[in-house]
């Protein structure tokens, strides 16, 4: 009987990472749960899960965690890149330092940790890398452009990595959840949104109400009704970890499946006006100054040539 793979999971202090650690441990896998602050992992340690400090913005901590798993198992069997956070706010007002921090955590940390586990995976001719993305890895909405850009980057890296490592027995898959009811993630997202211009203040207020309803269930909304639990995502991650031939992408939840299908089929103008502008808060011109209509340029008539 084949021994269960060793699993290294990032971002286990709460949310999806913690749910993955619990589910995969209870299913018999050897789990190494990690977080920036080891004390947040005590509930997992109490369950018998191995815990390690790992900060995806700190090279030394990443190397030490990978070395620990490889010393015990030869290679990391499954890497689950779950660590991340969401920077909120309009693109116009996003600070460049804040943008860099977002990419350091959500993109560069994920990429570097993948680099660290791959040599041993290639040598073993086996291994799985599971990258937790989002429906916002495939489209974007107002108020989260920087976060969504980081998830678009994760999608591109994963696509390239999947093709680059397939010949060596390494599998790479993306998890694309819809809205997940995780209080800590939602609180951080809302707190980050601090508009500078008065033009965006009202938009910020509506955005906070919208996402608070999703993450806490404080009031009934369409997105909140179909929000999923972290364990729903963990169940899919475990499925990928056990699959010898996982798919490239796994949308999770009704909203993920439905909106990604719409994105594939609808032209941009239809998707923007019939879905995004109706389903999400968007900035409104609350002042007196008129603004030009935003939309696609009118199609120019074809030149028939000079017939003179």
Catalytic positions are 147
Residues 277 and 130: their CA atoms lie apart, in Å, by: 32
List helix spans (H) across the chain.
Answer: 15-26, 42-46, 59-73, 96-103, 109-124, 145-165, 183-192, 201-216, 222-225, 230-242, 254-265, 268-270, 277-279
Chain centre distance of CA 184: 15
* Distance separating alpha carbons of residues 245 and 251, to the nearest angstrom: 17
Residue environment code for 157-179, b if the CB has 16+ CB neighbours within 10 A, otherwise e: bbeebbeebeeeebbbbbbbbbb
Give the sign of the dihedral formed by CA 264, CA 268, CA 273, CA 277: positive
């Amino acid at each position: 009987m084949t021994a269960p793979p060793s699993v290294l999971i990032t971002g286990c202090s709460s949310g999806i990472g913690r749910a993955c650690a619990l589910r995969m441990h209870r299913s018999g896998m050897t789990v190494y749960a990690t977080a920036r602050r080891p004390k947040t992992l005590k509930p997992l340690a109490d369950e018998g899960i191995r815990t390690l400090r790992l900060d995806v913005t700190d090279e030394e901590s990443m190397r030490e965690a990978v070395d620990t798993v490889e010393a015990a198992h030869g290679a990391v069997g499954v890497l689950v890149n779950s660590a991340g956070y969401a920077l909120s706010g309009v693109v116009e007002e996003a600070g460049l330092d804040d943008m860099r921090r977002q990419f350091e955590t959500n993109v560069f940390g994920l990429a570097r940790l993948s680099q660290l586990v791959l040599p041993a995976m290639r040598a073993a001719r086996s291994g799985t890398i599971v990258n937790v993305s989002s429906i916002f890895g495939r489209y974007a909405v107002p108020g989260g452009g920087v976060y969504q850009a980081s998830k678009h980057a994760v999608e591109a890296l994963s696509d390239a990595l999947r093709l680059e490592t397939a010949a060596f027995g390494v599998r790479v898959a993306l998890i694309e959840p819809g809205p997940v009811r995780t209080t800590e993630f939602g609180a951080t997202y809302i707190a980050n949104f601090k508009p500078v211009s008065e033009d965006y203040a009202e938009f910020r207020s509506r955005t906070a109400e919208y996402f608070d309803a999703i993450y806490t269930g404080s009031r009934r909304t369409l997105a909140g009704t179909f929000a999923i639990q972290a364990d729903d995502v963990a169940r899919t991650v475990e499925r990928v970890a056990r699959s010898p031939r996982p798919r490239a992408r796994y949308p999770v939840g009704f909203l993920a499946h439905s909106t990604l299908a719409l994105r594939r089929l609808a032209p941009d103008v239809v998707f923007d006006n019939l879905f995004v502008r109706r389903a999400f808060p968007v900035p409104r011109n609350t002042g007196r100054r008129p603004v030009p209509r935003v939309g696609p340029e009118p199609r120019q008539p074809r030149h028939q040539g000079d017939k003179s």
